[in-house]
Amino acid sequence: MKFLTFIRWREWGPDKLPFLFTFFFYAALADRIPASRFLPEFLSGAVFLSALAVFGYLANDLGDREIDRAGGKANSLSGLGPRAPVLVFAGVFAVMLAAGLAFAGRAWFVPLWAAQLLAAAAYSLPPLRLKARGVWGLAANVAAQFILPVLLVFAALGHRGWLGMSVLAAAATLRGTATEFGHQLFHLPADREAGVGTLAVRLGEESSRRLYRFVLLLDRLAVGGIVAALLAGLPPVAVAGLGKVHPALGLVPVYLWLLLRARGLNDPYYFSGRRPAANLLQAVFPQLVVPFYLSLVLALRGGWNVLLPVIFLAWIVPGLTRDKIRQIAGAAR
């Protein structure tokens, strides 16, 4: 458990990684990737993306170490000796290389890999430290955590459906912009006091809240874009007793029901008290429901794919506390 705390697993593992699993499952269904090939590539890709996430969060802790120490804020690298961070990052890179080299021969994978590392480092670390440079920091963070990982998934699996890939990458961009700008707005008082010039700090609270409402509207459209891309890009699958069925049809009534429930533009990410219905539509649905549903569709194809729902549940269960489950159930009523 201390290890999971050190790598800040709860900040990326239960939510951001499962969202990226959607793109693995989409490519597997769209390209009809054999289960014997897909499962090992999915597992390698999950380890690779996890290493990228750990690198990004630890780089952020390294860049913020002095600020956090002065403000009394928790930091994974606080209290470590001068050589310890070098050893930590060496270990992260060793895992990253071991998992990523399996895809190194795929077109665009290595350039995208390099771009992701550069974006993550440029966001957190000097001399650029884009985190404190307004819109450039937001752009680098969204690129490192959303756009480039999505493109890396498609490159790793050799997917070439450009239209579906473009729509899904655009949707990930909008979702990333909403979550990360919401994060900036949530931390605006602390960042302003510490002198960190995020976009929210530079705009001020009133202007940031107006912009955030607009971004949340785009985020809601992005969720619809994901459903539309699945409907347009996935081929029918054979289901015993039903013949050929479109694999994404089961998501449509769930999406429409959540859309009707999520009236108004309540903050789906940073809220106090009762979990709003908007959280189910803009967070739970794309991050948990869609990838789990697609894993079940893949399982229907048999072979090693039957393990995918089990693997998915094993991944998310550590992040599903009783309180979180109770809140989700309450928002659904």
Which alpha helices (DSSP H) does 102-187 contain, by range? 109-124, 135-142, 148-157, 162-186
74 near 139, Cβ under 8 Å? Answer: no
Distance separating alpha carbons of residues 20 and 116, to the nearest angstrom:
15
DSSP 3-state of 244: strand
Query: Which has the closest alpha carbon to 58: 99, 27, 87, 35?
Result: 87
The pLDDT assigned to 206 comes to 96
Q: What is the dihedral of CA 182, 185, 187, 189, to 10 degrees?
A: -170
Sign of CA dihedral 41, 42, 45, 47: negative
The list of the chain residues with pLDDT below 70 reads: 1, 72, 239-241, 329, 331, 333
DSSP 3-state of 324: helix
Give me the half-sphere count of Cα atoms (radius 13 Å) on the Cβ side of residue 242: 9
When computed from its CA atoms, the radius of gyration of the chain, rounded to whole angstroms, is 20
46, two tokens: 């999950």
Which alpha helices (DSSP H) does 187-270 contain, by range? 188-194, 199-203, 205-233, 251-261
Identify the bridge partners of residue 245 per DSSP, sorted by sequence position. Answer: 237
75 near 64, Cβ under 8 Å? Answer: yes
Respond yes or no on whether the N-terminal peptide bond of residue 127 is cis (omega within 30° of 0): yes
Give the DSSP letter of residue 304.
Answer: G
The pLDDT assigned to 276 comes to 83
DSSP 3-state of 280: helix
Give the DSSP letter of residue 265.
Answer: -
Distance separating alpha carbons of residues 258 and 325, to the nearest angstrom:
17
CB atoms within 10 A of CB 130: 20
Amino acid found at 50: S
Q: For residue range 262-303, list pLDDT tens digits in order.
A: 877 788 888 777 778 899 999 999 999 999 999 999 998 889
Query: What domain range is 107 assigned to?
Result: 2-332
Direct distance between the N- and C-terminal alpha carbons of the chain, in angstroms, rounded to an integer: 33
Distance separating alpha carbons of residues 208 and 203, to the nearest angstrom:
6
Where do we find the tokens 């995918």? 308
The pLDDT assigned to 319 comes to 78
Give me the half-sphere count of Cα atoms (radius 13 Å) on the Cβ side of residue 125: 12
Give the total number of structural domains in the chain: 1
CB under 8 Å to 214, separation ≥6 — which residues?
none
Helix/strand/coil (H/E/C) assignment for every residue in 20-73: HHHHHHHHHHHCCCCHHHHHHHHHHHHHHHHHHHHHHHHHHHHHHHHHHHHHCC
CB atoms within 10 A of CB 267: 19
